[in-house]
Every structure is written in structure tokens, then in C-alpha cells.
Structure 1
Amino acid sequence: MGTAAWAEAWTGGRRAVHIGNVADFNAQFVPASDDSTRHGHHYSCLAAFYSPHPAVLVLPHQVEPEWVRRLERILDWSEVEVHSGLAGDGRLIGPALAARPELRRRLDALALPVRHWGATEGTGTGVAAVRRYEAKDASHALFTRLAPGHPGIRVPAQLAVDSPRALAGVVDERARAGRTTVLKARHGVGGFGTAVLTPGRIAAAGGARNLLRRLADDQVLPSREGLLVEEYVEGGGRLRHPSFDGLITEDGTVHPVGVALMRVEDTAYAGATVGPGSVPARLAGAAVPFGVAVGRELAAAGHRGWYDVDFVTDPAGRLAPTETNVRLTGPAVAFMIQARLDAVRGPGHLVRTIDRLPLGARLGQQALLAHLEALARRCARFGATLLPTIPTAGFEAQPTVGVALAATDPDALDAAEAVARAANLALGDPFDPLTAR
């Protein structure tokens, strides 16, 4: 069975070293805090899926060996070498790895491709392009320039406002006209930097100034940095949030990967579905050529690696691009798993990733993995495969787990998700039959 052409291009058909530097990448753009670093380190578990077949994982949090052994069995990986717990004390993984010369020599001696979540100082070329186009005003300007050549694309209006007083005035004026406003920081990752302000929300807060102050206090938006006021594109429904993923190889060639359907809760990314039929051909037919055009501009600016373009759909079914992520993405994980399953089990897999499924009780990794093993057997009854993707956040104050679900039937995928959500929440009730093994 063949491997997807883009997957061959991504690592030259070779296994790779995966370094979980999510927190390091985010720290370039958002205020660093213990919470943001810890969350980034949990998310770095997705390093297991930076390519379809890893050789080495380098992770900030300590992980149980059984997690990777289970992934090896499901995805038919050869043995994966794991180095974990490098930055569990809150440090970033870049400095932690730099302080381990023996490990660095070991990785260099393997002479394998190295894949990071995204470029930071010391991870190779392209950092300037990343910092330029991770800025939401720069990506908006790029979208505006490219859109005339793509009839299925409409770019939301955007205005930069530097003064807090002027910003409150603009938002209040829009609310009086009955218009919803999207506010964006120039840089925002990990759920920080975007807010949707409806007229009702502004009125309930007693005006825009009060609401903006509250959002800054809650670290949703920056308190002093100028913000971008963006048009809210009306729309909704299942197809609201498509995302195009692509990659740029060292010679500057753009390789389209595919179009995912994201799940977005409020303004936060919560997972994605990829595979046959997940995105209608009409939407994909508009997203792919526009996404490739964006990739060519990123390549010309010096970016090499993964990127995506996120959209929302309007009531007429047109795509409105909202941002570019110049790094690996949540949907990339789904594409990697799909490519591997299609290669080893046959084509036609749908894959759905859910990065933060709530748990009804706090569980350490061993107990959580045992729970997921039992849950995987239940999902298998529907013809669905469950893979643990983020097993380290089960003992947080608000415990969660990341999983991926794979099936060849969309109904099986939906059924498995429903069972997984219910069983995870039922952990809080020892008498609930859903917790029975």
C-alpha cells in the first residue's frame, strides 16, 4: 500500500526525530506564564504525530512507556526511541535540550530529518517568515492581495486600532449598529488573542470599555498592545470552520495536504476531522487553490515546513480566510494518522482528533491509559479505533485527555465520540454503568 505523496515529501520517505517544542513556539508570541508553558508541554505530546512514522520523540513531560507502545501496535510503527521529562519543571524544551550534550550528539548521529512544532531560534531557517506571517494583520494583507484571483474567497474587513479609548469607541459604535465585532491581537496562540463581541455581550458588561478591561484581566486579550478590529462573518452549521493544510519542502515547492473540518468552541480550536467526505468538494475546491497560493507567498518569504490557512464559511458558502498558522497544526495530526492508517490498513480512513476531552475525575497516566484501553475496546465494537494523543493532562485541576478516533464510516466515528465523551465524564461516578470494564 502506498504512502500519500505529501507524506513522502515531508520527510523524504524517512522516519524522523520529533521535538515537542509547542511552549517554546508560543513563547515567541504570547506572554509566558506557568499555565501557558504547562499547557504547551501537554500539547507537545502531539509530537508523536509530527510525521506518519517517528523514530525518536523528545518531550517536555514525562510519559509512560505504555502510551508509545500502544501507538506502535495500532500504527504499525517500528520501535520509537523516547526521551521524555526534559522540561517538566516548567522550563522550555529548547534550553533543556541544549543543556544535554549527550542527547544532542545522539540525535545528530542518527542523521534523520528533525521536525518541530514550529520554527524558533536555533531550529533552522525561516524564523523571520514565521514571525512575519503569524501576525494577523500581515496574513490579512496577504489574503487581500490574493483574493481577487479566487472568486470563492471573501476577505473580512479589518482595521488596526492602537488607542484603548479609540478601540472602545469603535466597538461601542458597531454594537449600536447591531454589529458583532471580532477583536484580534496581532499575535495569538493557544487560545489567547481573539474574542467575539456581540452587541448583547457588550451591553451586559456595561459598555465596551468595561468588557475590554475584563478580557485583559482574564488574559484573553493583551492589555496594552493595539488590537485589530475585524468584521464578523455571519454563518454557522457543521461546515463553519474548514482549514487547508500544506507544506513547503526545502526547494520551495508547495505540497497541498488536504482540507480539514475543524471544531471551534467559542474562539478556541478543539479538534478536527479529515478524510473522505469530511469537507464537501465545493468547499475544498475553493480552499485548496487559495491555500496553495498562500503557500507560494510563504515560500518566497523563506518559510520551509508546515502551514495552514483557517477559514469560516458565510451564508452563501464562500470562504473567508481568518489566519495563517506558520507551523504544524492540530489538523496536521489528523492528516498524519490518516496517512499512516491508509498506508498500513488500506485507504478510506476518517480521523477525528479531540485534544481536550473533559474527564470526570483526575487520573494519573497509568490509570488514564487503563481507562482508555477499556474505552478503545468499546469503540472497536462500532468499527472505530481510539488512539491516545495527549495522556499527560489527566491530573490537572480541570483534567482532560486528548484522543484520536479513526473509522471508515462516519456514523462509527460519531458513535465512538459519543461513547468516549460519556465514559470520560462518568469517571466521576463510580456507580455509573459507563465506567464498567
Structure 2
Amino acid sequence: MTAAEWEEAWTDGGRRAVHIGDVADFNAQFIPQTPAARRRAHHYSCLAAFYTPHPAALLLPGEPEAEWTAWLARELAWDPVELHTGLADEHTTVRGALAARPALQNRVDRLGLPVRTWGRTEGPGLEAVHRFESKAASHELFARTAAAGHPGILVPRQQPAASPRHAARLLAARARRGETAVLKAHHGVGGYGTAVLTPQDVTAAGGARALLRELAATRVLPPGGLLVEEYVPGRGRLRNLTFDAVIADDGSVHPVGTAVMHLDGTSYQGATTGPGAVPPRAAATARAFGLAVGAELVRAGHRGWYDIDFVTDPAGRLAPTEANLRLTGPAVAFVLRARLDAVHGPGHRVRTLDRLPLGARLPQQALLAHLAGLAERCARFGVRLLPTIPTASWDELLPTVGVALAARTPEPQAALDALDAAEAVVRAAGEALADPFDAVGPDGARPS
């Protein structure tokens, strides 16, 4: 099976790459970096293992067990991967670690391989990233692109608020009309910086100004300017879609695909991609619009991965909500699907679940043993389980785990049903760790 055009463009013709887990470094350009936020970003950096289909080296802030990458290597037919882990903590960044370790930077340079990061933090193209990661600038781009003629696209109305008082007045006016509003910071990641507010929310808080103060105090929204956007009612399973593409160094745009995103409120949790995941008509609409947006990004100087996120309204129209000029959670699903198709045959449907709650904290060895048992259970449905984020299982505030589930059957719906069944098993097993009789480690001791 030959690689898709986007793979050729993204991997420089199929070359292996050095992957740097610098999620926190990228985020720091746009959102406040508290120790807790940086810790979460460092966990998420485990997804660096899946920046490209066949990594040569991984540089990670956390310290995942070597058993984790060995598991991935077996399933994905990787050649040996050079590991550099434990590079940062909740007070430091990966880029800072590289600057302080010239020998490590020299090692990366000597490998002579492409280097892939979560997103651009320096160099050519950074201006485009800073410009269009803004939800105000991306909205203006969407409106301009849609005006050129894109049937099936509905750009939500958006109003910038000049001050918190102005935001409160706009929110109050929508509430009086019985309208739900989407309040957005100019920048945010993974749902941080976005809140969906109903008229009932405004009333319960004692008014719009009181509600905004509450959101600021609980850090749902960061300080700074706000955008008040029209709320688009969703459409069931297909409410949240994404289109991903790669812009090559020569400026050519290569579509990667569409996926269904899984959200908890406004918080991104994972994605499903593969044949049948997104209906052809919606996929074609997202692709046509996404490629037109990509052409604008090319002219602005962006090179690399980007995606456009959409909300599907009850009539089936797609409402673009934000652009991401970087890798994203769904990118992992696309890359894994490409590798699984190449190694095990075409036709995989892949579902990533990045933040599955665990009922108890687990050290990594116990977590991997737990997941190994689940992998056997998932195999009964014809589903392959891969651990993607193992380091968050010992988090003191919210222990979680990231996994990917993959199914390959001729019938799309059968594969999606198998993924649903496997997800239910994995979720239930994670929650069951809270049971003092079931939640025991390999040595028979209950995790703390």
C-alpha cells in the first residue's frame, strides 16, 4: 500500500523524524501557564509518539516506562526508537531543557533527521500561527472564505467585546432574547477559554456581570479580551467535526481527512476517524472549505499541519468555529490510522480517548498491566488497544489515561459498533478501580 500524499509531504518522502513533546512550550505563547496547566500539557506531550507514523527519536518532558514504547513498537512495527525522557517538570519547559543541555541538542542535530514539534514556536511562519490561532482572526478568515461561495457552510455571528462590561452587556442582551451564547477568549486550547452560557446560567448567577466574575475566578476564561459568538445547536453524534490537512514546504496543500470529535462540554476528549466515521456529504463540505482556508494560510506563510473545527447544525450545515495551526488530538488518530493501515492492512477506524478517568491513581507498571488485560478483552470485539498517554495515571488531582482503539472490518457500522463496545469496557474498567475489592495492583495491593 502506497502512502497518501499528505504522508509524503508530512514525512519528507517517508523519512523517520525526531519528535519533540513541547505542547507546554506551544501553549505558553497563548494561555497562562500555571504549574497545573504545564503539568497537564506535559502529560499530553506523550502524544509526541504519534506526530508521524514511524518516529526515530522521542524527546519527552515526562518519564513514561520503556514498556510503553515497546508495546507501541510491537503493534506499529517501529524500528528502535531513541528515547530522551524526564526533560521537564511543572516549572520548566522542553525548550528550556534543550537550551540547558547542548549535548542533547547536538545529538538531535547529528541524527540529521526532520524534527517535528507540536507547533511552531520560532522561525518562519510564526507570524501566521500567532495571527490565526486567534479566534477573532480565524473567524474573519472563515467569513471571507465562505463569502466566496461554499454551500453547506454557516459562519456563526461573532462580536468582540471591548471590555468585561461590554461582554456582560452583550451576554445579557442575548439572555433577554432567550439565546444561548458562546463566550470565547481570543486564544485557547482543548476547550480552555470557551464557555457555552444559557439564559438559565445567566439568571442563576445573578446576572451577566456576576457570571463573568465567576468564570474569571474559576479560571474557565483567562484574563483579557472576549468574543461573544452565536451558539449553533448541534446534531447528535456528528455535532463536532474536524478537517485536517498538511501544507508542504512548497506551499501545496494536502488533505488528511475528517473526523468526529468527542467533547465533554467544551473540553476536547478524543476523535474517531476512518471509513464511515463522517458521512460523505459532510466530509466533502468540510474538505472543500478547509482547502480554501488552507490556500489563505499558505499566502499568510504557514507551513505544516493545520485543522478547522466545525459544529454541525440541525440542518446539516457546518459552522467553522476555530483554526489550529499545529498538531491536534485528532492528528494522532489520523497518523495512527495511516500506520495501522500500512502495517496491518487498509480499512482501520481509529478512536482516540485522551482523558479517560481512572477510579484510583495507578503507577505506570500497574497501569500498563491493567491496560494489557483490557487489550485482551477488546480483542474479543476485533479491536486493537494502544496506550497513548500513560503518565497521567499518577496525577494527584485527576488520574487519567489516554488510549487509542482501532477496528478493521469490511462493514463500517460494524467497526464503529465494535469501537463503542470496546470503549464501554475500557471506561467501566477505569471507573471500577475505585472499588476497593477490584482496584488492586499486580502485587495484590490497592493503589492509593
Please report the TM-score for the alignment, with normalisation by the length of structure 2: 0.95
Structure 1 position 432, deviation (Å): 4.2
Structure 1 position 255, deviation (Å): 0.5
Answer yes or no: is 1:59 the counterpart of 2:60: yes
Secondary structure of 2:392's counterpart equals: coil
Q: CA separation in 2, counterparts of 1:169 and 1:430?
A: 50
In the comparison of the two structures, how many residue pairs are matched? 434
Residue matched to 2:5: 5
Answer yes or no: is 1:81 the counterpart of 2:82: yes
Residue matched to 1:411: 417
Structure 1 position 99, deviation (Å): 1.1
Q: 1:42 to 1:87 in 2, by over 3 A?
A: same
Q: CA separation in 2, counterparts of 1:188 and 1:171?
A: 20
Structure 1 position 263, deviation (Å): 0.6
Residue matched to 2:129: 130
Residue matched to 1:222: 222
Q: CA separation in 1, counterparts of 2:161 and 2:170?
A: 9
Answer yes or no: is 1:192 the counterpart of 2:158: no
Structure 1 position 227, deviation (Å): 0.7
Structure 1 position 65, deviation (Å): 0.4
Q: CA separation in 1, counterparts of 2:236 and 2:334?
A: 23
Residue matched to 1:420: 426
* Identity between Structure 1 and Structure 2 (%): 65
Q: CA separation in 2, counterparts of 1:344 and 1:4?
A: 14
Kept in 1: contact 2:235–2:316 (CA 8 A) = no
Answer yes or no: is 1:42 the counterpart of 2:43: yes
Q: CA separation in 2, counterparts of 1:433 and 1:47?
A: 30
Residue matched to 1:152: 152
Cα deviation 1:5-32 (Å, max 9, x = unaligned): 2112111211110000000000000111
Secondary structure of 1:393's counterpart equals: helix
Q: CA separation in 2, counterparts of 1:272 and 1:89?
A: 27
Q: Which moved more, 1:67-76 or 1:402-411?
A: 402-411
Q: 1:434 to 1:362 in 2, by over 3 A?
A: closer
Structure 1 position 132, deviation (Å): 0.3
Amino acid at match of 1:388: P
Q: CA separation in 2, counterparts of 1:435 and 1:177?
A: 55
Kept in 1: contact 2:366–2:441 (CA 8 A) = no
Residue matched to 2:178: 178
Kept in 2: contact 1:423–1:435 (CA 8 A) = no
Amino acid at match of 2:110: A
Amino acid at match of 2:161: V
Amino acid at match of 2:433: L
Kept in 2: contact 1:427–1:435 (CA 8 A) = no
Amino acid at match of 2:175: A
Kept in 2: contact 1:26–1:190 (CA 8 A) = no
Secondary structure of 2:160's counterpart equals: strand
Cα deviation 1:60-99 (Å, max 9, x = unaligned): 0111100000000001111111100000353011011111
Residue matched to 1:375: 374
**Aligned residue runs from structure 1 range 1-400, under 5 A:** 1-12=1-12, 13-88=14-89, 90-121=91-122, 124-148=123-147, 149-223=149-223, 225-396=224-395, 397-400=397-400
Q: CA separation in 2, counterparts of 1:69 and 1:356?
A: 22
Q: CA separation in 2, counterparts of 1:270 and 1:109?
A: 37
Please report the TM-score for the alignment, with normalisation by the length of structure 1: 0.97
Q: CA separation in 1, counterparts of 2:217 and 2:254?
A: 42
Structure 1 position 216, deviation (Å): 0.3
Q: CA separation in 2, counterparts of 1:169 and 1:105?
A: 55
Structure 1 position 190, deviation (Å): 3.8
Q: CA separation in 2, counterparts of 1:162 and 1:364?
A: 47
Secondary structure of 1:29's counterpart equals: coil
Q: CA separation in 2, counterparts of 1:166 and 1:430?
A: 51
Q: CA separation in 1, counterparts of 2:420 and 2:192?
A: 29
Q: CA separation in 2, counterparts of 1:95 and 1:190?
A: 24
Q: Provide runs of 4+ in structure 1 moved above 6 Å.
A: 433-437
Q: Which moved more, 1:84-93 or 1:107-116?
A: 84-93
Gaps of 5+ in 1: none
Q: CA separation in 2, counterparts of 1:302 and 1:322?
A: 22
Q: CA separation in 1, counterparts of 2:276 and 2:87?
A: 40
Cα deviation 1:19-72 (Å, max 9, x = unaligned): 000000000001111011001100000000000110000000111100000000
Amino acid at match of 2:228: V
Structure 1 position 264, deviation (Å): 1.2
Residue matched to 2:411: none
Kept in 1: contact 2:39–2:90 (CA 8 A) = no
Secondary structure of 1:141's counterpart equals: helix
Q: CA separation in 2, counterparts of 1:51 and 1:86?
A: 21
Kept in 2: contact 1:62–1:88 (CA 8 A) = no
Structure 1 position 435, deviation (Å): 9.4
Structure 1 position 271, deviation (Å): 0.4
